Structure 1
C-alpha cells in the first residue's frame, strides 16, 4: 500500500509515517518544511519514504504528492496551527484550513482513483458531542478549544459531502497522550466505557487500519 500522510510533521502524523514504514508500506509525506521533518525512529533515507515540500491547502502541492506513484490511501492528521503545543492557545491558522485541505485532497483522490481516506478528528465533534463529560463541553464552548472544534467540524462535514466512490473513516479520539503503541484501541459509537485519553500511537494504528479494513467505511467513530 502507498499512503499519503497530511500533517506528517505533527505528533500523530509522524507516528502514522513511522508505523506505515514498519508495515513496509510506501509513504509520501507532504510537509511544509522538509528540513524540520524528523519523525522518531524513521530513517529519512528509507527507499519507501518520499518527502514532498508543500501544503495541502495548495492544490499544486497536492498534485505533486499524487504524481509519480499510485496513492492507495490518505491519512489526514492535520491540526490547527498554534504558537506552542498547548491546546488552550488560540490557533493562528484559519478555521477552514483543515476543511480546505480535505476538499483539495478529495478532489485529487477522485482524479487519481484513490478510494480510502481517514481523518483524525476529536471526541466531542459532531454526533459525539453529547457523549463528552460536562467539563469538556464547557471547555469546547468557552475556551480556545472552540476554534479546534469548529475547524474539525468543518473538516468532517467536507468528508460527509465527498463524492460517491470515496470511502472515508473519521477517528474521534479522546484526549491524546504520548504512550507506547502496545495494547489495542477501542472503537465505539456511543462512547460507553470510553477512556478519557488514548495514545497517539493507537490512533495512528487505527487510521492505517481504516485504509485496509471495511469495518469503518463512511463512519465517524470514537477511538479510545
Structure 2
C-alpha cells in the first residue's frame, strides 16, 4: 500500500510511520523540515513542502492509495487551509480513503445533545481555537465524497501502546480521560484495513 502521511514529524505521525514501515508499506511524508526525520528506510520517501501549498499537496498525493493526516493545529490555520487542497488533490487522483486525527472536542456532547463537546459544559478547556479548527476540517470532510474517518482521542500523553482502548462512534467513551500517543497511532493505522468507521468520527480513550 502507498500511504501519504501528513504530520510525520509530530508525536503521533512518527509512530504511525513506524507501524507502516514495519509492515513494509510505501510511505511518503510531506514535511517542511526533512532534517527532523531521522528514520532511514528504503520504503520511506520524503518530500519537502508545505501542506498549505497546492502544488506541494498535488505532488505528494500522486501515486498514493490512502492518505493519513496527523497534522495538528500548529497555532495557526494549517488545518483549514490544507484540507480543501487535500480533498481536491485526492479527487483529481481518484483516491477515496483518508484517515485524520481530530480532537475529542469535536465529538457530540453527552450533556447537550445538539452541540459538540467543545461547545458544551462537558469540555473543561477555556481555549477553543484548536477545536474550532478541527471542527471546520471535519465539516469539509463531511461534505466531501471521500471515504473519511476522523479519529478523536482525548488527552494524549506520550507513551507506548498497551494494545487496547475503548472506542465509540460520534462520542467519547464514558469516563475516558486519556489515551497514549502509541495506542492512538495503532488505532489510526488499523483504520486503513477497516471500513467500520467510514464517514464517521470515532472517540477513543482507555
Q: TM-score normalized by structure 2?
A: 0.88
* 1:1-224 matches, cutoff 5 A: 1-38=1-38, 43-44=39-40, 46-67=41-62, 70-81=63-74, 91=75, 93-94=76-77, 97-128=78-109, 130=111, 137-139=123-125, 142-143=126-127, 146-163=128-145, 166-189=146-169, 190-224=171-205
Match of 1:86 in 2: none
Q: TM-score normalized by structure 1?
A: 0.82
Alpha-carbon offset, residue 121 of structure 1 = 0.4
5+ long unaligned stretches in structure 2 = none
SS in 2 for 1:3: strand
Alpha-carbon offset, residue 128 of structure 1 = 4.4
Quick check: 2:156–2:179 contact (8 Å CA) kept in 1? Answer: yes
Quick check: 1:128–1:222 contact (8 Å CA) kept in 2? Answer: no
Change (3 A) 1:130 1:210: farther
Alpha-carbon offset, residue 37 of structure 1 = 2.2
Alpha-carbon offset, residue 205 of structure 1 = 1.6
Q: Deviations over 1:129-177 (max 9, x none)?
A: 75859876242xx33xx110111111111111112xx100011101102
Structure 1 vs Structure 2 CA RMSD? 2.0
Quick check: 2:154–2:177 contact (8 Å CA) kept in 1? Answer: yes
Quick check: 2:21–2:44 contact (8 Å CA) kept in 1? Answer: yes
5+ long unaligned stretches in structure 1 = 82-90
Aligned length, in residue pairs: 199
Mean Cα deviation higher: 206-215 or 115-124:
206-215
Change (3 A) 1:130 1:12: farther
For 1:204 and 1:125, the matched residues in 2 are separated by: 19
